[in-house]
Each structure stands twice: as C-alpha cells, then as structure tokens.
Structure 1
C-alpha cells in the first residue's frame, strides 16, 4: 500500500454486503467517531456490516471496543502467527477474555505464516506458530466460535494441524490465495473460503481457477483493508467501501450476476458469523 496513491473513488453500490475481514484500526480508526466514519462510507455503497480483525493484543482490545461502539461492527480477536512468541499465560488469558465478548464472532486471525521466519526480526519461529495455532483452535472450540485462518505458504502444514487437533465447527480461510488443489481440500473439509482483492490481480491465474470451484455456501468476501486493494487500484489505500469492486471482479470470473453473488456471500457470512 502506497500513501502516495489516492484512495479509490466510491464504487457503484452493491447490496447487501458484509466485509468479512478488515482492520479498522489500521485504516485510521481510533475512537467511536472515526469507526463510524469508515462504516458510513461502506454503508453508502451497500456494505452494511464489517468484521474488524485483530493481530495483536492492542488491536484485539480495540476490535472489541469498536464492535461495542457501533452495531454495524463485529470483532475477531487472536494473536497473528508471526507474533505467536508473545503468547504467554497472561496474553492467552486476555485473548480468551476478549474472545468471550458477545460482539466477537471469530477467533482470528491465527494460523501459520512460513514466509516471514528468518526474514523478519522478532518473528515467531515455526514451532511457536504451530503451538499458538493449536491453542487458538482449542479456544475457538471451547467458545463455540468460528476460527479465522491466516495462511502464507503453509497449505499442507495448516491442514495437518487442523486434522490433528480437530477443526472447530466453522473454519474460514481468510484472504484465500492458494491454488485449486488447496481449494478442493478446503471445500471437501467443509471450510469456508474468503476472497479479497487479490482475486482481481492480473497475475492471480491460479487463484481465479480456485475461485471457480467454490459453491456459494462456502464463499465469503473481504477487503483485508487497508491492504490488498483490488485492481485497478492496487497499491492505493483500501477500505471497506471498496468491497463492491472485488465482488464485481469475482462475479465476472465466476460468470455470475454481481447482485446474486453479493446476496449469496452475505447469507454465508451471516451463517458463518452467526449474525
């Protein structure tokens, strides 16, 4: 994301939509008023509800606050896999307390990221990530909440850990970016795939092929804002109001009517997050 590129213009409205994964704090929200401003922009183009997601303890506290400030906002809380090395007893207790809040609809984002170890100073080791992932899986099952997964270059390891631990009733692969083989494995396991602006990227041939395999009851849509702004705005700041661009691109790939895809993805998100 480049701060030099202007934010995209508002798209033509497409309703109803739920942004299944955004980061309101990273988009600049810091209090009830700024949360409302971002969600107002989204609602104006049909994105009436959003799930704001945490990747560290401060973000988790903010996500729960934001979801209690605005009825259009829901939260997901966890410690990101690259930060799993901070999961001491106190941090685990606090994440569990926050995840128990009624406005929290998922435990996430958690999972595995095999790209950053050895490249990013202070990044959790693979062993620390696996241990943290196992703990988050158990937490989601104990609380009866959806598990929201971050996956980077870890397809088979993720599937193995989920199989070993026993997956929660509902599992979402946030920002699904793998190929058809992984998509088929997830579909067969009953997992839900969430598509972001990456599906619109010109170099995403394998991802577009994977998107064709997913039935509507296992498909939701997200922005991952402020990241992954859809084509032709790649690199510009992303926000929940940009979601219709991604939905229209995905509908074109799948040969579907955008309105029908919007309605179907919303129905699936409502089920997945018990909205």
Structure 2
C-alpha cells in the first residue's frame, strides 16, 4: 500500500475524472494508494479540508497557513490554530514554513507565522509539515530554536544533501514529490539515494508538480505511484518494499492518522 502524504484534494483538476472527487480517489485506490493526507494552506480552506477528512475514512488532513498565503495583519492567531487542530481527522499542523523565492520581502512576516505554527505544534504534539524554498538557513535556525520533541517533515524537498542531513539530524523526515523524476533534478536524486529508508515519504503535492510522464499536466493522487516506482528503481529496491517502508514511516510520523494496519 502507498500513502500520498501531501495532496490538496480541494484544489484538484477533476476534468479527467468527470469532475468527481470520488472517481479520482477510486483511481488512486486502484493503483494501490490506501491513504491520503489533505493539506491545509489557509484559514479559508480549513473547513474544506476538515470536511474531506470527515467524508472519507482514508483521508486525514492538516491545518495551517502557507507562507505564501500570508497577508500583513492577517497572520494566524495561536488560539485559532489550537482550536482548529483539536478536531477529528486533523493529524498535523501546516503547511507552514518559509518561501523567499517568491516573496523575499515578506521574510519577517513568514518567520513570525512559522514560529507561531511551531509553538502550536509544541503545545498540541502534532507533527509539523514544513514548506521551504530559498530559505535554508532560516528554516533550519527556526527548527533548531523550536526544539520540538516530536518529528516533522520537510515536504516536496528540493534542497541539497547538507540541508537534508541537518533536518534528519533534527529528527525530521524528508518527503519527495514528482520533481525527483524531472530531467534536471540530478542534485535531488543524489539526496533521494541517501535518505535513510526509515525517514522517507512520498507525495504528489497534487494538483502541482506532476511526475514524468505527466509533467505539464495537472497532478493527481494516483500519480504517487510513479513517484514511488521511480524511487524504488533509483534506490535499488523493489517497489513493494519501498511502498511498505514509506507507509510504515507515515504511520510513525502521523500516529493519529486513521490508516488501516
């Protein structure tokens, strides 16, 4: 069984599935995907991801505000985060983090929000899902500062081995998306080969970043199979072993997930 450890089910392009999320999820299930983690990115989509987790037994969700969804004066309050996190099906906090690639001018606001999410994670004990781009030093500094007792994950990882190793040393997991299949991703493939087997997750980040051979098209949870098959071949293990290992890793990282044994 596979787990799509990071997908945005409320944002999928469902045109190839007749506009039906049920059909899209069934297509993924038929390809061996047995669980989905639907990610919160803003106050506005919190209700939607929670509703999906309540609707489907094999969907859990997270709650948080993405660094690119922040506006001055609208940063989330700690009380709001803790309240939203205390709900059935909400197994993680985020995604949160830092993105200086698109909004370097918002660094201070992003850091404030990231610290708040990390404090909420410390209080509630749920794992944090971290987005980081062009912000290696600050991301690691804030994670070290938080010193969370529980693990978290750097999702859709695109950085180098030095950053991966630093995150692993902090107890974090590394999640890889379809980017690892791209022709220009040699540096990331080096990281993919070196991640310890018990710290690796797979994801789609759908509807974004579809893997080869679907690059340029809208991504779907069913394509996590392509990510896993590529990684199994790249790491020199059989597909079933990688699927079993990454699923076990997901269960360990997200102990509240309602995933079948």
So what's the TM-score if we normalise by structure 2?
Answer: 0.91
The reply to whether residue 51 of structure 1 matches residue 37 of structure 2 is yes
C-alpha displacement of 1:28: 4.6
C-alpha displacement of 1:93: 3.7
1:151-162 pair list within 5 angstroms: 151-162=132-143
1:223-262 pair list within 5 angstroms: 223-262=204-243
1:4-153 pair list within 5 angstroms: 16-28=1-13, 34-85=20-71, 88=74, 92-117=78-103, 125-153=106-134
C-alpha distance in structure 1 between counterparts of 2:76 and 2:235, whole Å: 46
C-alpha distance in structure 1 between counterparts of 2:89 and 2:73, whole Å: 23
Question: 2:245: which partner in 1?
Answer: 264
Deviations 1:40-94 (A, max 9, x none): 1111111011000011112221111100011110001100012233664775543
Deviations 1:226-269 (A, max 9, x none): 01110121111111111111101111111111111011000000
C-alpha distance in structure 1 between counterparts of 2:146 and 2:170, whole Å: 14
Is the partner of 1:125 in helix, strand or coil? helix
C-alpha distance in structure 2 between counterparts of 1:34 and 1:92, whole Å: 35
CA contact (8 A) 1:247 1:258 kept: yes
Is the partner of 1:253 in helix, strand or coil? helix
Is the partner of 1:203 in helix, strand or coil? coil
Structure 2: state its 5+ residue gaps.
none
CA contact (8 A) 1:54 1:60 kept: yes
CA contact (8 A) 1:79 1:87 kept: no
C-alpha displacement of 1:96: 2.7
Deviations 1:180-205 (A, max 9, x none): 11111122222100010011111001
Deviations 1:86-114 (A, max 9, x none): 66477554333221112111101000000
CA contact (8 A) 2:13 2:207 kept: no
Deviations 1:121-143 (A, max 9, x none): xxx71000000000000111111
Q: 1:181 aligns with which of 144, 153, 162?
A: 162
Q: 2:180 aligns with which of 184, 196, 199?
A: 199
Is the partner of 2:251 in helix, strand or coil? helix
Is the partner of 1:137 in helix, strand or coil? helix
CA contact (8 A) 2:62 2:93 kept: yes
CA contact (8 A) 2:54 2:88 kept: no
Alpha carbons of structure 1 residues 85 and 92: separation in structure 2 relative to 1, 3 Å: farther
Alpha carbons of structure 1 residues 41 and 79: separation in structure 2 relative to 1, 3 Å: same
